[in-house]
Structure 1
Amino acid sequence: MKNPVKTSTFLMSIVVLLSPSVFMEVSRANGAVADQFSLFTLGISDFLPFFMPIFAALLYAPVVMQEVGTGGAWGPIMARRGRSPYVVRHAVRAACAGFIVFAGGVALVAVVSYGIHPHLIPVDFFNPFGDDLEPAAERLTFSQLYAVSPVLYFAFQAIWVGIGGAALSTLAAVGAMFFENRFVALLWLPVVVLLSEFVAGALRVDHFSLIRSFIPTGVTQQDPLIPVTVGLIVFLIAGVVAAYAAFSAKLPKALC
């Protein structure tokens, strides 16, 4: 890897992959954990909600920022390939990188929590809400999937968090094209997401929280319509921003 920015993206991928598991191990050493399920939940629910938008911004956006900056390579590339393919290529790469590393990070937490700590005594899943609930297949959310199959639960968590990582990484990368100031281009997404989390909590509508929608680690069932809707809205916003950058008559600010 001769490009230092792409090298930093590779290193950031390693950080995203490993940091939830490292946090889980450090936290486990400092407190009692009942079983592997609790250990897995600890590994992602206390760490990723805060760092997810930060990691997403640092993952691929620096590649775009280097190309569109002073002396960058975007001019010759756009002249050779066209603006639309240029923007779409970066959007697709950012989405792939986000999905792979965030889904991989959650999968690694599952492997570590169940593969390295089999001595933890499993706690049987119980339903504190009675038996009159809809089947898990109709309410495909959160920890009730664990009662069906731990593998299904882990797979759902990894895929859904990966989808969230893809959406945020794409939004960060394409959004960076609209800011000439590199500091603003790098930090706008974490600031907006964390402010929205604060506002949602203050207004007591945190069930619409973006991060809570992408990291569904709650132990109670809730309607999947809310997290899925929030996730689709984020993807829609990312798509609109990418489409505007690719096809609008006016060039994004950093590409002027």
Structure 2
Amino acid sequence: MTLTLNLSRRSFGAMMIASTAAACAPRVPDSGVADAAPNYLPEYAPLLDAGYDLPAIPLEYTSGVNRRMEGLYTGEAPAGSIDVDPYAKFLYHVRYDGTATRYPVGVGRQGRTLSGLATIQDKKAWPGWTPTANMLRTEPEVYGGFRNGIPGGLRSPLGARALYIYRNGKDTYYRVHGTNDLESIGNSGSAGCIRMFNQDIIHLYNNVSLPMTINIRSAEESLRVDPEYYNRGRELPPTIISPDELLGQEAVSNDRAPDLSQLASN
């Protein structure tokens, strides 16, 4: 969708609601019998990626502003960069023509979010995950059972893609990544990483060139640029998953390595 109007933040939301209604309106076939409307938006339809059938994102998780959309960018980050507002729970991919794609995100619980300028220096499809030493030290009840890591695939908490954030040439161990924890998008619930719907992180991954600057807004910048959505969402408790659910024999036997030659290009 290409826009020629300068959209206000409220227009952004109104446009999203209007396009949601249009996308979900039932089609009336020649027989005069209406088909049932799908329970997802077109951009969040089921997706085949790396040999995996990724499910659609149900409408209950993409209502209102909690969905991907495009418009004129009104923030302060430079063109050709990523701008994250952890208070409004949005990520903007800022393009050189003055437009941006805005994605809803899940962010870290209070005090756990990186801030300021950094660089995306690497990106991976279906990456594996290992908890950091800090995660093991501060929340052993959440991460202790996973200290040896989880390989890339459907069991990995990093989902379908990950962008790796560096500062001064060093890995910060913060990531922008996919997730199956749909409730976390639009809320604060992670250990500090930036979560996206798998369909959205695939879309972003396919449009990111390396290296790319990433800005994570401060509270002051968020209030200055986007006061309408400041502190959108709520803080969620950490999701505690039993190691058997991801590392048990049944979970391992039902998983398979991703086929990286068969990546979606949406």
Fold equivalence (TM over 0.5): no
TM-score w.r.t. the length of structure 2 is 0.25
Where is the helix percentage greater, Structure 1 or Structure 2? 1
From the CA coordinates, give the structure whose radius of gyration is larger: 1
TM-score w.r.t. the length of structure 1 is 0.26
Structure number with greater CO (CA < 8 Å, separation at least 6) is 1
